[in-house]
Structure 1
Amino acid sequence: MSLFIRSAHVITMAEGTSSSPQVLDLRIEGQDIVAIGSDLQPEPRDEILDGRDRLVTPGFVNAHTHSWETVYKGRYDNMPLELWMLYTYPLLGAPPRSPDFVRVRSQLFALESLKSGVTTIVDDVLETPSQDFGQLEAVVDAYERIGIRANVSGHVINVPFVDTVPFAADHLPAEVLHAVRNESLLSAGEYLDYSEQAIRRYHGRGEGRLHYMLAPSAPQRCTPDLLSGAVALAGRHGIECHIHMLETKTQAITGQEFYGMTLPQYLESIQALSRNTTFAHGIWVTDQDIEILANHSASVSHNPISNLKLGSGILPWRKYRDAGVNLGLGTDGCSSSDTPRLLEVIKMASLLHKIGDSDPAAWPSVDETLRAGTLDGAKSAMLDRTVGSLEVGKRADLLVWDLNTLNFTPRQKLDHQLVYSENGSSLEYVMVDGRIVVDHGALTTLDEQEIVDEFNGYLPEIQAWQDRTDELNTVFHPAFSAMYETCRQAPLDINRWAGTADSVLTP
């Protein structure tokens, strides 16, 4: 397919440009953008799209999400992360899900993502009790067929979960501790072998759209040899290693209690930091932590909606930016944010930090948040040479917006209106790899209603096992509530870590 977009308002998000649109022509040949400029001429075989009254932008990059949580959308509220995880990521009684169910679940998540303009997802897939190749294949196959771009993980926890937080084990009955600590867990070697095989099987599937990524769950949830081994393996293959870090005050206390240092300091000490490493959340950091991440060229994926729903805190946006740390944006999963729509996250990131810092000079600009939702998200995913901006030689992952809508009326600064006024209803076309995958709200690659109906066919089964596992896992609730309260009230020994009493941003 060759497409010529004539005289559109275009936000390229290329390095050295701003988010203010220019009137440009674009030519797409096959998967690639082959020309951008003013007064270009179409080739005889080109299909021509009149760009007048249209805005063209890069597709959004969701730099941290969990497709698994689709089944929990809207189920839980008013629980901090550590208690919420007992139910969404149950310790007991979660049955393994069949590959067919995983395929249906993944298609549903990709469907909603694409229809909201997300063309790339960093999908940190966790299966309980563990992931096998049948389940991983089902995710990759679903994304290949529906036409989305994705990094897909084998998420791993190889420390008993009750031992990943301080104080909780002290409040649990001995028989419960025994049951959890005797669950089968992967060794570092087993996980790295699994990942090597996954890279061989899946890297570059879907004409290059799909990649496996390493995903040690968090520093406190994995053994040191697994963490350092995963970062090294990702570096050898040029792929992403995705790790949760310092999402909550509890996790900051965990570093203090377990290692006598912050979690970034701990990761540096075991050589588990690199350009390939992206940290989801990164809220409870010291100034020294930020410097450590900057020195290793690591990225952070900011998830403001999820962080607000779970009461986790507010990431120090300007400190990261000033230090040169690359920031992407993520929705997190559909249980802690209840949406895969990244445009909502971009708006939230633009608004939240106006409250987090009283200095207007420190507030995020529209250019910064749009860049975090596109090019900088692609950088965090190790995909910025391929997508994230509209440039010659990059893949044609782009969005076409209708400007003849109330969201853009009256026309002012179109980039500002995209962030603050648009709700997704003006989206006309979503293109991935030069292929229109959503046309005026309709998926073109698969039967949308069939995807929804197939998922809903599983709903009685889903709700039944959710109810059973919720009941089983209430046994942990009092202990984890006590742990959370202890951490909530505990002082952080910041002076020992960073030398200043205000180095940690306390929400």
Structure 2
Amino acid sequence: MSQTLIKNATLLTMCPQNGTKPFEGDILIEDGRIAAIGQNLAAQPSATLIDGHSRLVMPGLINAHTHSSETFFRGRYEGMPLEIWLLYAYPLLMGPVIDDRLLYLRSLLLAMDSLRNGVTTICDDFFDPPVHDLSRLSTVFKAYDDAGIRANVSSAAMNVHTLDALPFAREIMPRYLQEKLDFGPPMSAEAYIDYCRSAFASLHGKASRLNFMIAPSAPQRCTPDLLQACHALAVEMGVPLHTHILETKTQAVTGHQIYGKSLIGYMHDLGVLSRNTTIAHSVWVSESDMEMMGDAGCSIAHNAVSNQKLGAGIAPIRHLMNAGITIALGTDGVSSNDTARIFDVMRVAGLIHSVSGPDFDQWIRADEILTMATIGGARSAMLENVTGSLDIGKAADLLILDLTTLSFTPLNDIAKHLVYAENGSSIETVMIAGRIVVQDGRLQTIDEAAILAEIRELIPAHLAAHAKLEARNAALHSTMAEIHRRATSTEIGMNRYTGGPRA
């Protein structure tokens, strides 16, 4: 039995008994799990001892929504709403898929960025058109296995033509351009579920920390039978149904134009809102939407930074919380955020909701933000019995931060320091399942310098090829811009105000 004992640390457990109230104590870790928390704990003579003096020990952060497929597009785009940005980050006029080595490196780079900044669990909904391939999914799993991170992984599924999932698209886009968007026969629900079952059989539970989740891209992008089959399998396997709903005003218009109701209402009528349902974004939701989500026990991943960069809006987080919905935090992809740092998302989420109105009692507090970043994220990933808090029996997924840094000097309230002052630079140690994966700012699982050098060598050719795809897809720019313009000026009869800053 291997043991690690962290002595005399400041502990922030995020467990029900203590929440965000710090206290002094020790943590005993045995075979990757937390065995005891208290004062004056003893360990075997062979145990690894860590001096916790002037150190904070807290749960690792959870990135509840991201896309590793964007990792090579950091710092590439700005000034585009979602529907236009998608043309370039996820070209409709596609080229060859990224090769296996770059697929591995792309995934590994996201893991590296995450780990160095205190994220111990990621939910990666990567995109890998045109087909779902088990060997390519295995490549992503291998990258995360090598990095030592905990992850829920899937490749986004869709089987509705892009133009049929957007309002006004068929009437705006010239016919000759529509004819270029030939994606072949749509994937059947049976084919995707067969793929998912193969993934569960061969990859789910790998290294006891890598899981497969089910990710229909969005309700308007999937046929009803695909959504229902995905939900049934998610419930059967006890994993999230991870999807995107109501990120933009365009998507809000889509629901009412195509289905005569909101996309949440559509999901509700299909019977696919439940405890397993995790919704990325949830910006343009109505009061009735939130009531349905709360009654079903859904979770949302609040992407506070990405939603601002893409001009999507501000999710009504206080209203969502009041409806009983679990709130987690996500970075979204590196292209729509430019980092994988949940510390950045925490700070933005702690600030933007204060412009929602004069009732400052309803503003979001630092302790609530920390809950979203830890145990809330674990619940959204259906991993709350594994990670998200420092509890006996849970995996030792934790961070050790130096409390003598500028971010904590002078020390007032730890929760507020973490949300408003810290950016990850105070992290000394990152541990996952009791294994140290970052120590003194250095990754312990891989040769970081060699990986970065290889990426720098290989990426120019890839980005040059991608630039040609961007040029091809620029032909569709004016269509997407007009869809965005029409949608933002369309009244959709929502039963609460929309489009402005909201809490």
User: How far 1:158 sits from its partner (Å)?
Assistant: 1.0
Give the superposition deviation at 1:217.
0.4
Q: Which residue of 1 aligns with 2:444?
A: 444
Letter in 1 for 2:184: E
Determine helix, strand or coil for the equivalent of 2:177: helix
Aligned to 2:177: 176
Q: Is the CA contact 1:96–1:130 (under 8 Å) kept in the aligned structure 2?
A: no
Question: How far does residue 119 in structure 1 lie from its aligned partner after superposition?
Answer: 0.3
* 1:118-164 superposed Cα distances (whole Å, 9 cap, x missing partner): 00000001113333112111000110111000000021121111221
Match of 1:70 in 2: 71
Helix, strand or coil: the match of 2:181? Answer: helix
TM-fit CA distance, 1:94:
2.5
Partner residue in 2 for 1:135? 136
Determine whether 1:406 maps to 2:421: no
Q: Distance in 2 between matches of 1:111 and 1:284?
A: 33
- Aligned partners of 1:325, 1:438: CA distance in 2, in Å? 33
Residue identity (%): 43
Matched to 1:373, the amino acid is A
Tell me whether 1:466 sits opposite 2:466 in the alignment: yes
Q: CA RMSD in A?
A: 1.2
Q: Is residue 315–residue 505 contact of structure 1 (8 Å, CA) maintained in 2? A: no
**In structure 2, C-alpha distance between the alignment counterparts of 1:9 and 1:171, rounded to whole Å:** 59
Residue 455 of structure 2 corresponds to which residue in structure 1?
455
2:368: which partner in 1? 368
Quote how far apart the aligned CAs of 1:41 are: 2.3
2:105 aligns with 104
Query: Quick one: structure 1 residues 452 and 182, their matched pair in 2 at CA, closer, same or farther if it must change by over 3 Å?
Result: closer
Judge conservation of contact 1:119–1:148 (CA < 8 Å) in 2: yes
8 Å CA contact 1:27–1:35 kept in 2: the answer is yes
Query: For each residue in 1:265-319, what CA deviation from the matched residue of structure 2 results, as whole angstroms up to 9, or x when unmatched?
Result: 1001111111111000001000010010011101000000000000000011111
Contact 2:3 2:43 in 1 (8 A): no
- Give the match for residue 18 of structure 2: 17
Q: In structure 1, the residue corresponding to 2:126 is in which secondary structure?
A: coil
Query: In structure 1, what is the Cα distance between the partners aligned to 2:357 and 2:61?
Result: 26
What CA distance in whole angstroms lies between the structure 2 residues aligned with 1:366 and 1:452?
Answer: 35
Cα drift, residue 475 of structure 1: 1.4
Partner of 1:292, secondary structure, is helix
Match of 2:286 in 1: 286
User: Contact 1:34–1:392 (CA<8 Å) still a contact in 2?
Assistant: yes
Q: Which moved more, 1:15-24 or 1:303-312?
A: 15-24
Mapping for residues 20-169 of structure 1, pairs under 5 Å:
20-169=21-170
TM-score normalized by the length of structure 1: 0.97
Deviations 1:335-365 (A, max 9, x none): 1011100011011111111112331111111
Q: How many residues were matched structurally? A: 500
Residue in structure 1 matched with residue 303 of structure 2 by the alignment: 303
Write the letter of the residue equivalent to 1:328: A
Q: Deviations over 1:454-506 (max 9, x none)?
A: 21222122211211110111111111111111111111222xxxxx4x35464
Aligned counterpart, 2:417: 417
Letter in 2 for 1:477: H
Would the aligned equivalents of 2:8 and 2:26 in 1 still touch at CA under 8 Å?
A: yes
The one-letter amino acid paired with 1:400 is I
**2: CA distance, partners of 1:7 / 1:267:** 49
Bigger mean CA deviation after superposition, 179-188 or 149-158: 179-188
Structure 1 position 369, deviation (Å): 0.5
1:357 is matched by which residue type in structure 2?
G
Q: Give TM-score, length-normalised by structure 2.
A: 0.97
Q: Are 1:242 and 1:278, in contact at CA under 8 Å, matched by a contact in 2?
A: yes
Matched-pair contact (CA < 8 Å) for 2:119–2:341:
yes
Q: Is the 8 A contact 1:94 1:129 kept in 2?
A: no
Mark the runs of 5 or more structure 2 residues left unpaired by the alignment.
none
Q: Distance in 2 between matches of 1:96 and 1:8?
A: 48
* Paired AA for residue 394 in structure 2: K
Deviation of 1:416 after TM superposition, in Å, equals 1.3
Asked whether the 8 Å contact 2:132–2:195 carries over to 1, the reply is: no
From the superposition, tell whether residues 460 and 505 of structure 1 become closer, same or farther in structure 2 (CA, over 3 Å).
closer
Q: What is the alpha-carbon distance in structure 1 between the residues aligned to residue 438 and residue 113 of structure 2? A: 11
Task: Name the SS for the 1:401 alignment partner.
Answer: strand
Distance 2:259 2:16 in 1: 39
Structure-2 separation of matches of 1:169 and 1:477? 14
Change in Cα spacing, 1:27 to 1:154, as seen in structure 2 (3 Å) is same
Maintained 8 Å contact 2:33/2:393: yes
Q: Give me the whole-angstrom Cα distance separating, in 1, the residues matched to 2:200 and 2:500.
A: 40
* Residue equivalent to 2:482: 482
